[in-house]
Structure 1
């Protein structure tokens, strides 16, 4: 048995398998006699897989958002947080987000010893929208962060920040902690001395006070995020540029 931290890095899903924007985080790969593969897939609104099938089937666990799944010959079915989908071996199907909501799921499958891959077919056509029944109330904890030391806070600034495609903040520090959440687009994020990660819609991040942020660079789709700045009496939140 071994325990490891869930990686924060994700990669863009291959264009030959996905229509639209989606990101994949590998959580488990076949090891030893086990042939289990587990990926987390984040679909932007309107993104979905092509029609495809798996030699040994697949299990999907929706962890966030709302999407669709459909098998060949059947209607598109709405899936939302907490739903589990079991796809039969060799069953043609597709899955992805609705046109107006994002969706994240875990994809769990057994791989054949000979490495036979999933088979891809044509892209998905027009999907008849399903009626989305509103959930009365949901609460999801997305970040719980301990601060290194007690801090007097008497006001909080919340800023919506947009970076154009290919632009970044440059190396910097803040004079207080920053908590952020990505609304649209994506960005490469790196705290100095730590691995890079790609932040996508729904991801959250924490920039500790006076800690060097090596990268916060918008990718080709740009990025918009909310940044929350807790501040003390008479304090104005500041970004302090550093030399590269």
Structure 2
């Protein structure tokens, strides 16, 4: 049963508890009976059964016995929204990992590292991870783009031949495009993180030298002399 008139729905919800009380001695309403209410074409629709075309819509669940709202379900996310949510979740994980690494590095810097070389080993691990992420994202973006171009060419050939684009081909194009957008966002995020990591390393090395009382000019001069070939 589906009702589209808001006044009737309101009357139903307000009178349900009283009708239940009056008929309690005759036949009790099912305890778990629910009403579903959602928006459809600008109208609020309520029904005791959820139709297939409303499964993905945002809705409220209301107890038929008490008339009170018992739950709420958000609308189903689109493919692009799911991809965006996955990207944001991965970014939050990366940010949390980077923040935890910075915290541990600062706390243990003076206690654990006797030299700059020991400290650099920690950063080298992070640099290797981020560099690998950047390379992987770039490779995936190129691969996805080439695949998308191929699918678009196939769709264009079908249209030029006077045939409609196959439904599965159109679905593949949308999915490949969404994945390419997500991968490019990841690539940009990784590249930004890599640039920020260089700044972070330079900052921490400067702080470490200051706490250790090391002259940075002397360190750079020693590194330069080490890199120069031996003169005979």
TM-score bracket for the superposition, by shorter chain length: under 0.3
Which has a greater percent of strand? 1
Q: TM-score, normalised by structure 2?
A: 0.19
TM-score when normalising by structure 1: 0.18
Higher relative CO (CA 8 A, sep ≥ 6), structure 1 or 2?
Answer: 1
Which protein has the bigger helix share?
Answer: 2
